[in-house]
């Protein structure tokens, strides 16, 4: 398989993504918001959520599953709870429009929650918590997907790969952010391994008969991914289902699959975000210096690095040098742009 790549600036990435979406039933606002999310992923070296996702976004626009002209509706349900109805659109525009009201809730009440409903989420979560942590808030995000992950003790998929992300503000330093799927390996990474003809590490998945396998195709075609850390990752995946579906009246992963047309794009579902303003808790003057001293101690230990440091290093390099994109992927996106949906 060809591994040829082409170097693109981040502006070229953003314009290619935006034009491809706009040529396929996405209005300006939605195309811009999704393109910004995809570009941020490429910028930070998260290729599995970068341009690689555009064919899936386009498939969902072309099939009519996703509303490319979605107009999110924001509603305050309680002093600290906001609901953002995504109008069957992709998540990024709804996230953009829900962020301000969520920040207002957290600043006025100490804690705010944003329930995103009727969205199609196909992105990494770190983008979302980082945006809040950059504004001085502690942030959590949770979303479910379609069944891919077998609960501990089973070999049948029930949970989505169910990521959760956490962001911690660090004053004038970039926030500490972790963002992890509940799976031993994110599905996007398994898809990339299948595309590139690589095997998986042991312990990532089982085939359709429940046997352990390192073949990514066997995991993707009727098999299941295993949770990270056995029953502990399984419990986190369950928590994500409960928060991102049960709590906010959206589909559990298994329900999302029943309602999905399997066009290759993301199913309809929900997301929960929580924001906390440290100024309202017990140490409004001292929390930042106290936690910075903690990070200093952490960083002084041999072998450690903070979550997100890899992305931040990629960000500096890729902003300057551009990113390497597979030539066949770039060509496919150009073709999708030039043969638009009718
Ligand atoms: P990884 O296992 O690659 O990384 C998980 C976290 O651990 C990251 O924050 C990473 O930081 C951090 N980390 C990795 N190595 C170290 C280390 N040595 N020391 C300290 N921290 C470390 O991510 P996943 O494969 O679990 O998830 C991939 C992505 O897929 C996520 O962004 C997730 O949101 C997304 N996803 C989206 C779904 C959706 O439905 N929208 C579904 C499932 C996943 P760093 O980035 O700096 O390496």
pLDDT in tens, the chain (342 residues): 457 999 999 999 999 999 999 999 999 999 999 999 999 999 999 998 999 999 999 999 999 999 999 999 999 999 999 999 999 999 999 999 999 999 999 999 999 999 999 999 999 999 999 999 999 999 999 999 999 999 999 999 999 999 999 999 999 999 999 999 999 998 888 988 999 999 999 999 999 999 999 999 999 999 999 999 999 999 999 999 999 999 999 999 999 999 999 999 999 999 999 999 999 999 999 999 999 999 999 999 999 999 999 999 999 999 999 999 999 999 999 999 999 776
Whether 253 sits among the annotated catalytic residues: the reply is no
Task: Determine whether the shortest distance from the Cβ of 299 to ligand 1 is under 6 A.
Answer: no
Whole-prediction pTM value?
A: 0.95
Mutation probe of ligand 1 site: the residue of 86, 143, 176, 180 with most atoms within 8 A of C-beta: 180
CA-to-CA distance for 220 and 189, rounded, in angstroms?
A: 11
Chain center to CA of 29: 19
Residues 6+ apart with CB under 8 A from 322: 7, 8, 9, 10, 12
Whether 48 sits among the annotated catalytic residues: the reply is yes
Residues 6+ apart with CB under 8 A from 102: 82, 112, 113, 114, 132, 273, 275
Task: Determine whether the shortest distance from the Cβ of 143 to ligand 1 is under 6 A.
Answer: yes
Mutation probe of ligand 1 site: the residue of 57, 143, 307 with most atoms within 8 A of C-beta: 307
CA-to-CA distance for 237 and 14, rounded, in angstroms?
A: 32
Mutation probe of ligand 1 site: the residue of 52, 146, 181, 313 with most atoms within 8 A of C-beta: 181
- What's the 178 CA to ligand 1 centre distance in angstroms? 7
Task: Determine whether the shortest distance from the Cβ of 81 to ligand 1 is under 6 A.
Answer: no
Task: Determine whether the shortest distance from the Cβ of 181 to ligand 1 is under 6 A.
Answer: yes
Beta strands 81-90 and 111-120 are: parallel
Out of 42, 130, 189, 271, the active site residue is 189
Nearest atom within ligand 1 for CA of residue 165: 34
Out of 49, 121, 182, 253, the active site residue is 49
Name the residue at shortest CA distance from atom 40 of ligand 1. Answer: 145
| Nearest residue to 34 via CA among 103, 115, 80, 92 | 92
Name the residue at shortest CA distance from atom 22 of ligand 1. Answer: 307
Q: Which residues of 177-215 are buried (b: 16+ CB within 10 A; e: fewer)?
A: bebbbbbbbbbbbbbebbeeeeebeeebbbbeeeeebee
Out of 12, 48, 97, 154, the active site residue is 48
Residue holding tokens 């429940």? Answer: 210
Whether 198 sits among the annotated catalytic residues: the reply is no
Task: Determine whether the shortest distance from the Cβ of 178 to ligand 1 is under 6 A.
Answer: yes
- What's the 98 CA to ligand 1 centre distance in angstroms? 24
Q: How many CA atoms lie within 13 A of 156 on its CB side?
A: 2
Where is 90: in which H helix or E strand? strand 81-90
């Amino acid at each position: 398989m060809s591994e040829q790549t082409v170097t693109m600036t981040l502006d070229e990435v953003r314009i290619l993504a935006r034009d491809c979406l706009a040529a396929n039933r996405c209005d300006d606002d939605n195309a811009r918001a999704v393109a910004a999310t995809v570009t941020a992923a490429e910028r930070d070296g998260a290729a599995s959520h970068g341009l690689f996702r555009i064919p899936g976004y386009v498939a969902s626009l072309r099939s009519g599953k996703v509303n490319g002209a979605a107009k999110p509706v924001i509603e305050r349900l309680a002093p600290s709870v906001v609901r953002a109805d995504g109008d069957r659109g992709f998540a990024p525009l709804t996230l953009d429009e829900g962020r301000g009201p969520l920040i207002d809730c957290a600043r006025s009440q100490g804690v705010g929650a944003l329930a995103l409903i009727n969205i199609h989420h196909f992105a990494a979560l770190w983008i979302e918590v980082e945006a809040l942590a950059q504004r001085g808030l502690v942030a959590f995000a949770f979303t479910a997907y379609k069944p891919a992950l077998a609960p501990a003790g089973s070999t049948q998929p029930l949970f989505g790969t169910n990521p959760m992300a956490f962001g911690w503000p660090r004053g004038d330093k970039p926030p500490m952010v972790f963002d992890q799927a509940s799976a031993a390996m994110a599905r996007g990474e398994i898809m990339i391994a299948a595309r590139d003809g690589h095997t998986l590490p042991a312990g990532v998945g089982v085939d359709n008969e429940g046997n352990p396998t390192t073949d990514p195709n066997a995991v993707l075609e009727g098999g299941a991914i295993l949770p990270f850390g056995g029953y502990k990752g399984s419990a986190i995946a369950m928590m994500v289902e409960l928060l991102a579906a049960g709590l906010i009246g959206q589909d559990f992963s298994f329900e999302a699959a029943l309602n999905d047309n399997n066009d290759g794009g993301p199913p309809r579902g929900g997301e929960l975000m929580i924001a906390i303003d440290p100024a309202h808790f017990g140490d409004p003057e001292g929390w930042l210096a106290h936690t910075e001293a903690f990070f200093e101690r952490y960083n002084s230990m041999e072998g450690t690095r903070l979550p997100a440091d890899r992305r931040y290093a990629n960000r500096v390099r890729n902003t300057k040098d551009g990113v390497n994109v597979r030539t066949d992927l770039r060509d496919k996106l150009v073709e999708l742009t030039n043969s638009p949906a009718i």
